[in-house]
């Protein structure tokens, strides 16, 4: 049973927080006393979660749109005055596909969602996370470490967060980054 005091007063942003793993993360932080910002491009599930969980608010945001990400961080800090944790969770695993059936256009779109969204949002969050000595949690995938057949674009987008983001975040100064998944 989570203690409501564990993260009391802490402010957490979870991307893709409306459904699946992200919704579970939102619930766990909210039940531990944190204010949680549910970032999602789809409204319906996120609104239900917002109603169910005291301390959770929904901000619509497509992580592939830099303008949305700027608004997400600005609005979070305006409402709560701080940011303690960013969970980069929004992502997609396309159906299995042979290499010759993949397209560069689809690969680019997956990079925008699974990788560049986390990169841009982390950069925007850094000044606030430095102040709070906060954390970044990157929801990666075991596929990024061991590979997966018929999933080359997905594996590529999950490799960097899993294998190389820790040292990069260390360079950012006193931040703890933890790849998960
Ligand atoms: N499900 C698994 O078995 C598994 C295993 C390893 C890693 N992961 C990773 O965990 C993360 C979550 O996976 P899941 O299975 O819970 O996914 P899911 O499809 O159930 O949920 C993803 C959520 O992200 C949102 N989303 C999608 N595109 C978005 C965008 N552009 N901007 C904002 N929100 C967006 C969706 O609306 C949805 O609410 C992903 O990064 C995935 O790669 C999943």
Give catalytic residue positions: 154
Mean pLDDT of the chain: 91
Which CATH number is 104's domain given?
3.40.50.720
DSSP string for residues in 84-129: -EEEE-----PPP--GGG--HHHHHHHHIIIIIHHHHHHHHHHHHH
Domain of 68, in residue numbers? 2-179
* 160 vs 115, more confident: 115
Ligand 1 mutation target, pool 14, 15, 16, 138, most atoms within 8 A of CB: 16
Domain count, the chain: 1
CA angle 140, 57, 178 (to 5 degrees): 20
Specify the ligand 1 atom closest to the Cα of 45: 39
Residue whose Cα lies nearest atom 2 of ligand 1: it is 21
Q: How far apart, in Å, are the Cα atoms of 22 and each of 19, 41, 138, 168?
A: 6, 13, 11, 24
Query: Residue 159: its pLDDT value, please?
Result: 87
- For ligand 1, the distance from its centroid to the CA atom of residue 143, given in whole angstroms, is 14
Query: Residue 174: its pLDDT value, please?
Result: 47
Query: Residue 169: its pLDDT value, please?
Result: 62
Is residue 91 in contact with ligand 1, taking CB distance under 6 Å?
yes
- For ligand 1, the distance from its centroid to the CA atom of residue 19, given in whole angstroms, is 8
Share of the chain above pLDDT 90, in %: 83
Q: What is the mean pLDDT of residues 49-64?
A: 97
In tens, the pLDDT along 81-123 reads 999 999 999 999 999 999 999 999 999 999 999 999 999 999 9
Contact 83, 34 (CB under 8 A): no
């Amino acid at each position: 049973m989570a203690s409501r005091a564990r993260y009391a007063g802490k402010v957490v942003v979870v991307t893709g927080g409306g459904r699946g793993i992200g919704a579970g993360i939102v619930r766990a932080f909210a039940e531990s006393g944190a204010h949680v910002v549910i970032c999602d491009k789809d409204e319906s599930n996120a609104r239900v979660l917002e109603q169910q969980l005291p301390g959770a608010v929904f901000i619509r945001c497509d992580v592939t749109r830099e303008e949305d990400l700027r608004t997400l961080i600005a609005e979070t800090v305006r409402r709560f005055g701080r940011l303690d944790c960013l969970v980069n969770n929004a992502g997609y695993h396309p159906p299995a596909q042979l290499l010759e059936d993949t397209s560069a256009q689809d690969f680019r779109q997956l990079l925008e969602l699974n990788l560049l969204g986390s990169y841009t949002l982390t950069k925007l969050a850094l000044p606030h996370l430095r102040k709070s000595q906060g954390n970044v949690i990157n929801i990666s995938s075991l596929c990024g470490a061991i590979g997966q057949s018929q999933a080359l674009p997905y594996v590529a987008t999950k490799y960097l967060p899993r294998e190389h983001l820790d040292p990069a975040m260390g360079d950012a100064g006193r931040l703890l980054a933890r790849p998960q998944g």
